[in-house]
Amino acid sequence: MRCGSLSLLLITCLFSLAYTYAITGASGAVDTSTGERPARQEFRLFTVSGAAFDLYILALQQLTQEEQNFQLSFFQVSGIHDRPYIPWDGVNGQYEAGYCTHSSILFPSWHRPYLALFEQLLWNNAQNIAATYPSSLRAQYQSAAQSLRIPFYDWALNSTMPDQTNEPMILINTPDGLRNIKNPLYDYTFHPQPNHSDFPESDGQASLCLPQYVEYADGNSQPNISNMMLEANADAIRSGVYNLISSQPDYAPFSNTGFVDDRGNRYDSIENIHNGIHTLIGNGGHMAIVPYSAFDPIFWLHHTNVDRLIAIWQAIYPDSWINSSEVTAGGTFTDAPGSSEDANTGAFLYDSNHDLPLN
């Protein structure tokens, strides 16, 4: 329901003495002399990539089927974002919020290594899956696995959601031949159901299955309604992205909804545009509700596009970065509400290095 070298590591917060899992991003097919790496593709183009798309679907399926108590499962990684408010990789918190920084100057930089973690896990899965294809296809799939990167859903180019995210089953070429399998892009099913303390019934969202888009009383998604909402706002989405990237050279107002200047003025931001897509896709369902949105598979396609737009903005304004502190109203799992954040804030999954890859 719905510019430069790679340096992505877990940055420990004040509540943690050490970390055990380093976020490096996908490491394959990188030119060691130039740093050039495979580019992420728009989802609709990616669906006709053959071996790469097959591997992406199977790698995502494997991730979603991992035991939920496994640190590198879809459940645990999605849960970093917000609910169920539990430690990940030993980083403990004490506040009723997720690790993610919202309405915060750290909004762009927090999500980048978060996506890199997700991409890294899919890439690792793809290497193992590619090796199981028949010998006549194995080299092709192993090459595709090395270059595999997560795709993005460009809702400014075409606001309508990709067809492949709307169907519960999907036909792909598996190591055992063409198979119609349960589509991991459509929804995520809890196994087992989270307990009430982690996903309280008062939230109204603790269903056995998190259907994409709009959840009605019968629990069925209705992507046609979400698409109608997206299409009705297509011009505003497109113009909003263009105006923001072409006319906002300052990082602070560009980065987040919480920024207020000295005269009390607020501005449009990449986070605000991002919020609108969450709302239009979810339309009252899980994708529109922050604590649960990362469990909807389309969250990752959406945020990869947000990261792409941030990278485009960085390329246009390479000298603009965090140069002041900002108070975040909501706080995070590790930081109290009303904390002041700046470029030196020790936030979980935050990369303080501005020199980040542009893909």
Q: What is the DSSP string of 232-260?
A: HTHHHHHHHHHHHHHH---HHHHH-TT--
pLDDT digits (tens, 9 = 90+) for 191-243: 888 877 787 766 655 443 444 433 333 456 788 899 999 999 999 999 999 99
User: Can you list the domains of the chain with their CATH numbers?
Assistant: 43-341 (1.10.1280.10)
pLDDT of residue 347: 52
pLDDT of residue 318: 95
**pLDDT at residue 64 tops 90:** yes
pLDDT of residue 329: 67
What is the residue whose two structure tokens read 């918190």? 93
Give the H/E segment covering residue 187. strand 187-189
**pLDDT at residue 259 tops 90:** no
Q: What is the mean pLDDT of the chain?
A: 85
Pairing status of strand 169-174 against strand 177-182:
antiparallel
pLDDT digits (tens, 9 = 90+) for 83-129: 888 889 888 888 888 888 888 889 999 999 999 999 999 999 999 99
Enter the tokens of residue 304. Answer: 């990869």
Please check whether residue 97 is in contact with residue 82, taking contact to mean a CB–CB distance below 8 angstroms: yes
pLDDT of residue 115: 97
pLDDT of residue 19: 54
Q: Which of 70-79, 182-191, 238-247, 300-309 has the lowest mean pLDDT?
A: 182-191
First to last CA, the chain: 27
Written as one letter, the residue type at 198 is D
| DSSP letters spanning 76-138 | HHHHHHBTB---BTTB---SSS-S---SSTTHHHHHHHHHHHHHHHHHHHHHHHHTTS-HHHH
CA distances from 17 to 126, 232, 280 (A): 32, 49, 40
Q: Full-prediction pTM beyond 0.85?
A: yes
Q: Which of 82-96, 251-265, 293-307 has the lowest mean pLDDT?
A: 82-96
Q: What is the mean pLDDT of residues 230-257?
A: 96
Please check whether residue 171 is in contact with residue 257, taking contact to mean a CB–CB distance below 8 angstroms: no
Distance CA 120, CA 27 (A): 8
pLDDT of residue 7: 32
pLDDT digits (tens, 9 = 90+) for 146-179: 999 999 999 999 999 999 999 999 999 999 999 9
pLDDT of residue 201: 65
Please check whether residue 97 is in contact with residue 330, taking contact to mean a CB–CB distance below 8 angstroms: yes
**pLDDT at residue 353 tops 70:** no
Q: What is the mean pLDDT of residues 259-279?
A: 92
Written as one letter, the residue type at 26 is A
pLDDT of residue 358: 33
pLDDT of residue 220: 66
